[in-house]
Amino acid sequence: MYKVIEYEDIDKNIIDGPYCLIDVRSPSEYKLYTIPNSINIPILDDQERKIVGTAYVQEGPEKAIRLGMKIVSKKLPDIYDKVVELNKEYKKLIFFCARGGFRSKPLVALLSSLGISAIKLSGGYKKYRKYIIKVLPEIVKEIKFVVLYGNTGVGKTELLYFLKKEGMDVLDLEACANHRGSFFGSVGLGQQNSQKMFESLLYEALKNRKTNLVFIEGESKKIGKIFIPDYIFQAMEDGIHIRIDASLETRVNNIYKDYVKNNDWELILALEKLRKHIGDRNIDEYEELIKQSKYKKVIEDLMVKYYDPLYGHKKKNYQAVFKNENPAKTAKEIIKWANSLK
């Protein structure tokens, strides 16, 4: 026999000693979404999973299981070596697959029989996902968001960093999405997270908060291809709103620092998405300026002529306005102001 654990018990720390979550799904499944902080030890790689899946559909489960066993048997020594090393560091090893079935179940049974402290996560990723979908809205009901608004480049994301450094609770939506929003949002960041991974990271950030006052950056409903859940977006709308301002020079420097990283091709690709919005002539000019490394000219022009008119926050009733030329200093000013609300 082997042990089985509910994710809720892990979440509530009803587990003895340090543990490690191990995702045994294929690399592509793991890359798309997983339980945060888990590691991937795939039983089947992407191609093998496809072969076994085809056998399941065309020849039935018995044939598929037999084929899977044949493939996995050759990998067991390598898997065992990896697990043994992890077992030296962690008291409990918790394995999961998509639904807690054909992949994690036999592996946990085998490892348990060999003296490894292996535990199967009940219901796999699917049950974990169902759990956080239920619990995350309940968490958000307890939270009051302090929402930072301001034009492009005023340093809102950097302020979140310094607020967190000072011990405040922060939810960085752009970090969870791995996208900064806007047409340039993916520049320098690589592939954006999936919706499921985004929501898992939101959950991780909020469940570990120390208080119910959480700082967050004002965003539109959509960040790249990801949607902010309605209940979080509404909580932001109902939150405390403050505005961040900065000089044009500071804003240009902030954007330059965040986006220009020897990646002209990415910048030009992002500019192409703006062609229908600001015209061929402007885009052609900006692309030529990028080739000449005149990045700050392009940034300033885009701010003044496009981003500020389009995204300028004309919202009234900000409870406070802060000038941000030094984010470390501004963060302390915001904290002092927030403490005065109590």
What DSSP state is assigned to residue 213?
Answer: E
Q: Is the dihedral of CA 288, 290, 291, 293 positive or negative?
A: positive
Positions marked catalytic: 97
Which pLDDT score, from 0 to 100, does residue 33 have?
97
In CATH terms, the superfamily for domain 3-131 is Rhodanese-like domain (3.40.250.10)
Q: Which amino acid is at 18?
A: P
CA distance linking residue 241 with residue 146, whole number of Å:
6
CA distance linking residue 220 with residue 309, whole number of Å:
16
Which pLDDT score, from 0 to 100, does residue 312 have?
61
Residue ranges covered by each domain of the chain: 3-131, 142-340
Which pLDDT score, from 0 to 100, does residue 316 have?
64
User: Strand, helix or coil at 216?
Assistant: strand
Q: Which amino acid is at 122?
A: S
User: From the centroid of its chain, how far is CA 270?
Assistant: 21
Q: Are strands 226-227 and 222-223 parallel, antiparallel or unpaired?
A: antiparallel
pLDDT digit string (tens) for the chain, length 342 residues: 789 999 999 998 878 789 999 999 999 999 999 999 999 999 999 999 999 999 999 999 899 989 999 999 999 999 999 999 999 999 999 999 999 888 999 999 999 999 999 999 999 999 999 999 999 999 999 999 999 999 989 999 999 999 999 999 999 999 999 887 665 555 556 688 999 999 999 999 999 999 999 999 998 898 988 999 999 999 999 999 999 999 999 999 998 888 787 778 778 887 888 787 888 888 888 888 889 989 899 899 888 888 888 766 556 689 999 999 999 999 999 999 999 986
CATH topology assigned to domain 142-340 = Rossmann fold (3.40.50)
The beta strand positions in 32-91, using DSSP E, are 39-40
Please give the span between the terminal C-alpha atoms of the chain, in angstroms, as a whole number. Answer: 54
